[in-house]
Amino acid sequence: MPDTIASSMDLRRQLPGVTTLLDHPELQPWRQRHGDRLPIRAIRETLAHYRQRLSEGAADDIGDNRPEEIDLIAAIRVRLELLTRANTRPVFNLTGTVIHTNLGRSPLSEAAIEAVVQAARHPVALEYDLERGRRGDRDRLVEDLLIELTGAEAATVVNNNAAAVLLSLTALGAGREAVISRGEMIEIGGAFRMPDVMSAAGCRLVEVGATNRTHARDFSQALGDDSGLIVKAHTSNYAITGFTSSVPERELARIAHEHGIPFMIDLGSGALTDFRALGLPHEAQPSEAIAAGADLVTFSGDKLLGGPQAGIVVGKRELIARLKQHPLKRALRCDKLTLAALEATLRCYRDSDRPSRSLPTLSMLARDVATIGDQASRLKPSMQAALEGIAEVSCRDCRSQLGSGSLPVDRLDSRALVLHCPGSRDLSRLECVLRGLPRPVIGRVHEGALWLDLRCLDGDEEERRFVEQLDTLRPLWDRTA
Ligand SMILES: *Cc1c(COP(=O)(O)O)cnc(C)c1O
Mean pLDDT of 438-459: 97
**Angle, alpha carbons 80-81-82 (nearest 5°):** 90
Tell me the CA–centroid distance for residue 260 and ligand 1, in Å.
27
Nearest to 311 by CA among 168, 195, 106, 153: 168
Instruction: Look at residue 161 in the predicted model and tell me its pLDDT.
Output: 95
Ligand 1 binding pocket includes 375 (Cβ within 6 Å): no
pLDDT tens digits along 278-307 = 988 888 999 999 999 999 999 999 999 999
Lowest mean pLDDT among 151-160, 194-203, 237-246: 237-246
Task: Note the helical H segments in 109-238.
Answer: 110-121, 140-150, 161-173, 194-200, 216-222
Phi, psi of 205, deg, nearest 5: -75, 130
What mean pLDDT value characterizes the chain? 92
Cα separation, 360 vs 302, in Å, equals 11
Ligand 1 binding pocket includes 283 (Cβ within 6 Å): no
Position with higher pLDDT, 429 vs 15: 429
Tell me the CA–centroid distance for residue 232 and ligand 1, in Å.
13
Please tell me the residue having the least CA distance from ligand 1 atom 12.
268
Tell me the CA–centroid distance for residue 186 and ligand 1, in Å.
10
Instruction: Look at residue 180 in the predicted model and tell me its pLDDT.
Output: 94
Contact 157, 142 (CB under 8 A): yes
C-alpha distances out from residue 442 to 67, 94, 265, 439, Å: 35, 6, 35, 10
**Angle, alpha carbons 295-299-305 (nearest 5°):** 130
**Percent of the chain at pLDDT above 90?**
78
Ligand 1 binding pocket includes 307 (Cβ within 6 Å): no
Instruction: Look at residue 403 in the predicted model and tell me its pLDDT.
Output: 83
For ligand 1, what atom is nearest to the CA of residue 311? 7
Cα separation, 191 vs 73, in Å, equals 47
- The DSSP call for residue 271 is -
Ligand 1 binding pocket includes 405 (Cβ within 6 Å): yes
Q: What band does 1 get if pLDDT is binned at 50, 70 and 90?
A: very low
Residue 233 makes CB contacts below 8 A (sequence gap 6+) with 180, 184, 186, 194, 265, 266, 268
Please tell me the residue having the least CA distance from ligand 1 atom 6.
161
Residue 62 has pLDDT above 90, yes or no: no
Mean pLDDT of 200-222: 90
Ligand 1 binding pocket includes 300 (Cβ within 6 Å): yes
Tell me the CA–centroid distance for residue 150 and ligand 1, in Å.
18
- Delineate the domains of the chain, giving CATH numbers in brackets: 2-84 (no CATH), 92-102+364-479 (3.90.1150.110), 108-355 (3.40.640.10)
- The DSSP call for residue 97 is B
The sign of the dihedral angle between the CA atoms of 236, 237, 242, 245 is negative
Please tell me the residue having the least CA distance from ligand 1 atom 1.
268
Tell me the CA–centroid distance for residue 194 and ligand 1, in Å.
10
Position with higher pLDDT, 269 vs 147: 147
Tell me the CA–centroid distance for residue 265 and ligand 1, in Å.
12
Nearest to 306 by CA among 352, 348, 367: 348
Mean pLDDT of 354-372: 96
Instruction: Look at residue 158 in the predicted model and tell me its pLDDT.
Output: 98
What DSSP line would sit under 58-80, residue for residue? THHHH-SSPPPHHHHHHHHHHHH
Ligand 1 binding pocket includes 106 (Cβ within 6 Å): no
Instruction: Look at residue 13 in the predicted model and tell me its pLDDT.
Output: 74
Cα separation, 38 vs 21, in Å, equals 13
Residue 89 has pLDDT above 70, yes or no: yes
Contact 300, 361 (CB under 8 A): no
Tell me the CA–centroid distance for residue 43 and ligand 1, in Å.
46
Residue 119 has pLDDT above 90, yes or no: yes
pLDDT tens digits along 6-21 = 566 677 778 899 999 9
Mean pLDDT of 475-480: 88
Q: What band does 236 get if pLDDT is binned at 50, 70 and 90?
A: low
Cα separation, 89 vs 77, in Å, equals 19
Cα separation, 159 vs 441, in Å, equals 29
**pTM of the entire predicted model:** 0.92
- Return the H-helix or E-strand segment holding 232: strand 227-233
Cα separation, 244 vs 62, in Å, equals 68
Lowest mean pLDDT among 23-27, 60-64, 195-199, 396-400: 60-64
Instruction: Look at residue 69 in the predicted model and tell me its pLDDT.
Output: 81
